[in-house]
């Protein structure tokens, strides 16, 4: 997994609440057996008008947001289905950071597995940044994971909280399965103890 330390990048605003993973990437793109190439499905239905032509009002269709790496959005982003295709599609489009007042649990978790930093800022701070990004072409932010802060072009900084373990894994780009495998002795000891407590959980189901 790619590490995330600090990022200065173009900001794209998506001013909607409760954006669900069905919108981030609809079902027809879930038939893939790969993790890559999913950007063509990103916000697929919202990119088009009813007649199928590109919707010029949707941010992904606007040249000013081409190359954006930071997505700025509203409450409960990523709700619904657990599909990891949602962060895969965002990553494939170039997004490395999503800033919102709140995230759905599974999506939030999935971001960390893919080198994407989800940042929670206060609702009024996000609103300020969305307005700034809409008003100012080429609006950028600097997201500093080490110091847990977002810095606006005018120098204003916004601090954010993050779980220390997740931060460390993301900052160093660690293989989380490899980390768990280091605890093999503890896992085996747990299984031995558990076999005595609850032997019915260890019968062969095949």
Residue ranges in contact with another protein by CB under 8 A: 16-18, 20, 22-23, 26-28, 30-35, 45, 50, 74-76, 79-84, 87, 102, 104-106, 109-110, 113-114, 163-165, 176-177, 179-181, 183, 186-187, 190-191, 194, 197-201, 203-206
Cβ proximity to another protein, 9 vs 35, nearer residue: 35
Q: How far is the CB of 142 from another protein (least distance, A)?
A: 27
Cβ proximity to another protein, 10 vs 111, nearer residue: 111
Cβ proximity to another protein, 135 vs 200, nearer residue: 200
CA distance 9 to 19: 22
Q: How far is the CB of 170 from another protein (least distance, A)?
A: 13
Cβ proximity to another protein, 33 vs 155, nearer residue: 33
Q: How far is the CB of 50 from another protein (least distance, A)?
A: 8
Q: How far is the CB of 104 from another protein (least distance, A)?
A: 6
Q: How far is the CB of 114 from another protein (least distance, A)?
A: 7
Largest alpha-carbon pair distance within the chain? 64
Cβ proximity to another protein, 67 vs 146, nearer residue: 146
Based on its alpha-carbon atoms, the radius of gyration of the chain, rounded to whole angstroms, reads 20
């Amino acid at each position: 997994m790619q590490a995330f330390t600090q990022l200065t990048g173009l900001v794209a605003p998506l001013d909607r609440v409760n954006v669900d993973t069905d919108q981030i990437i609809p079902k027809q793109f879930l038939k893939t057996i790969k993790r890559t190439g999913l950007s063509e499905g990103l916000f697929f239905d919202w990119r088009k008008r009813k007649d199928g032509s590109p919707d010029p009002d949707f941010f992904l269709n606007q040249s000013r947001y081409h190359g954006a790496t930071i997505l700025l959005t509203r409450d409960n982003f990523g709700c619904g289905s657990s599909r990891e295709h949602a962060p895969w599609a965002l990553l494939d489009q170039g997004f490395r950071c999503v800033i919102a007042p709140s995230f759905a649990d599974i999506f939030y978790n999935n971001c960390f597995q893919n080198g994407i930093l989800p940042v929670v800022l206060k609702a009024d701070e996000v609103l300020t940044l969305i307005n700034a990004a809409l008003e100012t072409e080429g609006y950028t932010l600097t997201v500093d994971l080490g110091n847990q802060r977002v810095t606006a072009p005018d120098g204003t900084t916004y601090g954010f909280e993050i779980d220390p373990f997740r931060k460390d894994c993301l900052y160093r780009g660690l293989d989380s399965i490899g980390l768990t495998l280091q605890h093999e002795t503890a896992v085996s000891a747990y299984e031995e103890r558990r076999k005595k407590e609850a032997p019915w959980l260890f019968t062969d189901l095949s």
